[in-house]
Amino acid sequence: MEFTKKLFIDFLKKLIAFDKDSCSTIDVASRVVKERDYEEKNASKADSIVSDFQKQVDGVLSRDFGEKSGIFARLQKCKEQLALVSSAEKSITDNATYLAETGNASVASDISIDDLLQGKVDFVTKAYEVNEILNSSAKLKKVLPNKIKPLEIYKENTRPKVLQVVKNNSQADIMQVYKFKTDNTLRESVLGELTNSILTSSSIGLFDNLREKDHLAYSVYSTIEKTGNSGEISCNILTTTDNKDIGEISYDNVKKSIDGFNRQIAKLKAGEFTDKDLENAKLAMKANLLNTEGSSKKLDTINLGLNSKYGITYANKLYNEIDTITKQEIVDFAEKIFRNPPVYSIAASKDTLGNNKDYFKTLEA
């Protein structure tokens, strides 16, 4: 809809209530943003005036300028109209006549044509003040494009390491972690999620084999994460090794668990997973991207885009890549991420660590 005179007058009169301190208050708001001046009284005053101002603008203009991108575009349109109304050639009488000619004498009950003619409402001055408010609110610098540059933090691990922590627990908490260099492409992100899914939950997955078949643990899974240009994929298990209360002593579960990790990783790299495994991994990733139930999940989706060079539609772009991934790409990616020696982290009882001392030496050889 065209920006009509009636709509503009209606908008302007909604801002008449702003007093002469409004402009200085906008300046306070600007300073709070630019200089991070968080003095409570200033911040409170600024928040209040900016919030009210934006509500006025959105309430009046959004229904007719919904196609405009953002509040700034609408403010600019208002400023153009305000410049016309507050020009030096227009007098109070001119504005009163203007209202009468356009049939807007009954636009609002609180301001009438008679009030304008009798000088009870200084329409031009008020228009000038509102224009000053708009000008003040436009002083802030334009928001710069969000440029994401990944941190260059990757450092290759060239030899295996075993980290040991004594923990007074019947279960050994074992992690086998591999570092790899990332290129932060959409395709690599999808490959990472699908590969991790297959490693955890598939016919060759850790869950089906180390838990269901080998009965080594209740909790066994893999995770994959990226920070900057550095990626990590981890195999994780909690396996009982030292439960003296019930006489369950299985110190060799540490070796069995790590051997199990290596066995399933080798099967992944050899492409022994089925087409059905890959299809299930793709469906699981799609479901996760489509699940936006609850505020927490919505914020996760937004943050996914904000922290990516691909922008707010990052999740959509990931979704579109999923079906294009092939089995051979999964195999090649697995070769890449498991290429370097791992770091082992074992948190277990003193007796568990002591009884695996010689085994740990072989891992670091």
DSSP string, 192-255: HHHHHHHHHSSTTSHIIIIIIIT---SEEEEEEEEETTEEEEEEEEEEE-EETTTTEE-TTHHH
Please state, in angstroms and rounded to a whole number, the distance separating the CA atoms of residues 212 and 219.
11
- Give the count of alpha carbons within 13 A of 210, CB side only: 33
Name beta bridge partners: 219.
Answer: 238
At residue 251, what are phi and psi to the nearest 5 degrees? -60, -25
Q: What is the pLDDT of residues 45-101, one digit of tens each?
A: 544 544 555 555 455 445 444 444 444 454 444 444 444 433 433 443 344 444 444
Handedness of CA 47, 85, 113, 65 (dihedral sign): negative
Q: Report whether 310 contacts 270 (CB < 8 A).
A: no
Please state, in angstroms and rounded to a whole number, the distance separating the CA atoms of residues 239 and 356.
14
- Predicted structure pTM score: 0.61
Structure-block tokens of residue 187: 């395709």
Query: Nearest-CA neighbor of 237 among 200, 198, 281?
Result: 200
pLDDT in tens, the chain (365 residues): 333 444 444 444 444 434 444 444 445 444 444 444 444 454 455 445 445 555 554 554 454 444 444 444 544 444 444 444 334 334 433 444 444 444 333 333 344 444 433 444 444 444 555 556 556 656 666 666 666 677 889 999 999 999 999 999 999 999 999 999 998 899 999 999 999 999 999 999 999 999 999 999 989 999 999 988 999 999 999 999 999 999 999 999 999 999 999 999 999 999 999 999 999 999 999 998 888 777 777 777 777 777 777 877 888 899 999 999 999 999 999 999 999 999 999 999 999 999 999 999 999 98
Token pair 């066995």 is found at 263
DSSP state at residue 307: T
Please state, in angstroms and rounded to a whole number, the distance separating the CA atoms of residues 241 and 253.
6
In the chain, alpha helices (H): 5-14, 22-35, 40-61, 70-85, 92-101, 113-117, 123-137, 186-200, 206, 253-269, 275-290, 295-306, 314-322, 327-337, 350-355, 357-364
CA 220, distance to chain mean position in Å, is 28
Residue count of the chain, please give it: 365
